[in-house]
Amino acid sequence: MSESSEAVDQAGQAPCDHCGIFTIPGPLGVQSAWRDITYQPVRNNIWTASEGIYRTIYVEGRSGVIAFDTFSTPGGARAYQGAIQRCFPRKPVHTLVYSHEHLDHTGYASDLAPDADILAHDLCNRVIEARQSDGQLPATEVWTDERREFSIDGVNFELLYPGPTHGDGNLAAYFPASKVLFMVDTVIPGVGYTFFPDWHLAPYVGVMRRLLGLDWDLFVPGHFWMIDRQGFIDSLDFYDRMADAAQQAIIDGLDSDDYDAVTRYVAEKLAPAYQHLFRFDEYFAMNLIRYMQHYLTGGWGFEGNLAAGTTPFSG
Ligand SMILES: [Zn+2]
């Protein structure tokens, strides 16, 4: 028995796990647990992987693989590496691209590909360097403008920072030859994601619509499944309608701090128009509370109130 496998047996987790920003002593069983990853081709050399909730992409180059994000835990990162290697057993992950700085998408490069080059937007990397989370490696290359072309190992793509959407430095990856757009924690199938954690609601929709200027017809989100261009448009329209619904709810006297009252209001007033949407029952009331808080508090921080540019990208 090797030294490393003894460590697995005794501690119940692999010895190389990283702790994120947890401060209690390990082992952190849930963080370390293996995640079952499914994967499938998207178009051309682009593949997508998911563990059911989270989704990302990886791209086959001539000699290696460009992987986007790391999944949400050390165990997820190792399983993601395993999925990639089942596809391309002779091609190492030589490049990582961070979508944004949240640990649940980019927290565990140390467990996925510790020696890879890492691309991130400067705004994203500033948070990562300040956070110093165990396992989240800083970028080896940052970019600062809102659009840059990359050609790495025969893979051509663009990274775009359209403005504040969610988290910091959240980018879109555009593959013009495949007409594929990838972006995390923004547009997803169905209603909005939970309580819109770290969404910058004032600029969000206008900034996201900039991406409709690009020539793509398949969108890969960071959660759930792929959607088409109309699904992307419908999702952004949902946010506009949610903004109106939240203002009306306040006018109607709904208390955003009373979850039972909010769920009753949703069932009575809003279910007829929205209950057909994916995850309506789980997320819609949370969506409404978050939007109500936006109007009651004025939004949060600089990014939540920024008057960002809305000029569509071209090309
Ligand atoms: Zn996020």
Instruction: State yes or no: pLDDT of 1 exceeds 80.
Output: no
Residue 9 above 70 pLDDT? no
Tell me whether strands 38-43 and 155-160 are parallel, antiparallel or unpaired.
Answer: unpaired
User: For residue 15, what pLDDT is reported?
Assistant: 56
Q: What is the dihedral angle through the alpha carbons of 150, 151, 153, 154, rounded to the nearest 10 degrees?
A: 140
Q: pLDDT class for 304, splitting at 50, 70, 90? A: confident
Share of the chain above pLDDT 90, in %: 88
230 CB contacts (<8 Å, ≥6 apart)? none
Same domain, residue pair 97 and 174:
yes
Mean pLDDT of 70-85: 97
Q: What is the pLDDT of residue 16?
A: 63
Q: Check residue 5 and give its pLDDT.
A: 38
pLDDT value of residue 7: 39
Is residue 153 located within the same domain as residue 270?
A: no
- 112 by Cβ neighbours in 10 Å (0-12 / 13-18 / 19+) ranks as buried
| Secondary structure letter of residue 307 according to DSSP | -
We report the CATH number of the domain holding residue 87 as 3.60.15.10
Q: How far apart are CA 173 and CA 67, in angstroms?
A: 12
In a domain, 284, yes or no: yes
Q: Is residue 181 located within the same domain as residue 245?
A: no
Same domain, 119 and 262: no
Eight-state DSSP code of residue 175: E
Q: How far is the CA of 117 from the centre of ligand 1 (A)?
A: 21
**Which pair of structure tokens corresponds to residue 14?**
């692999």
Do both 81 and 150 map to the same domain? yes
Q: What is the pLDDT of residue 303?
A: 86
Q: Which of 163, 185, 207 is the last residue of a domain?
A: 185
Whether residue 61 is predicted with pLDDT greater than 60 in this model: the reply is yes
Tell whether 16 is covered by a domain: yes
Same domain for 28 and 146: yes
Distance 2 CA to ligand 1 centre (A): 38
pLDDT on residue 30 = 87
Please say if the pLDDT value at position 69 is more than 60. yes
Identify whether residues 21 and 125 lie together within a single domain.
yes
What's the pLDDT band for 25 if we cut at 50, 70, 90?
confident
- Spacing, Cα 42 to ligand 1 middle (Å): 23
How many Å lie between the centroid of ligand 1 and the Cα of residue 86? 27
Q: Which amino acid is at 142?
A: V
Is the pLDDT reported for residue 99 higher than 50? yes
What three-state secondary structure class fits 260? helix
Q: Could you say which of 185, 207, 225 is where a domain stops?
A: 185
Q: Is the pLDDT of residue 230 over 50?
A: yes
What lies within 8 Å, CB to CB, of 78 at 6+ separation is: 14, 34, 111, 112
Ligand 1 geometric centre to CA of 4 (Å): 33
**What is the rounded average pLDDT for all residues in the chain?**
94
> Are 255 and 139 within one domain?
no
Answer whether residue 209 is part of any domain: no
Rounded to the nearest angstrom, the distance between the alpha carbon of 70 and the centre of ligand 1 is: 12
CA of 268 to the centre of ligand 1 (A): 31
Domain count, the chain: 2
Under 8 Å between Cβ of 57 and 182: yes
Confidence bin at 120 (pLDDT 50/70/90): very high
Q: Tell me which amino acid residue 279 is.
A: R
- Mean pLDDT for 42-68 is 98
Q: Which domain holds residue 125?
A: 3-185
Question: Among 105-114, 234-243, 247-256, 303-312, whose mean pLDDT is lowest?
Answer: 303-312
Q: Are residues 17 and 125 in the same domain?
A: yes
User: 19 and 142 share a domain?
Assistant: yes
Of the pLDDT bands very low, low, confident and very high (cuts 50, 70, 90), residue 307 is confident
The answer, yes or no, to whether residue 14 has pLDDT greater than 90, is: no
Residues within 5 Å of ion ligand 1, judged at the Cβ atom: 102, 167, 185
pLDDT at residue 97 greater than cutoff 90: yes
Q: Are 172 and 160 in contact (CB under 8 A)?
A: yes
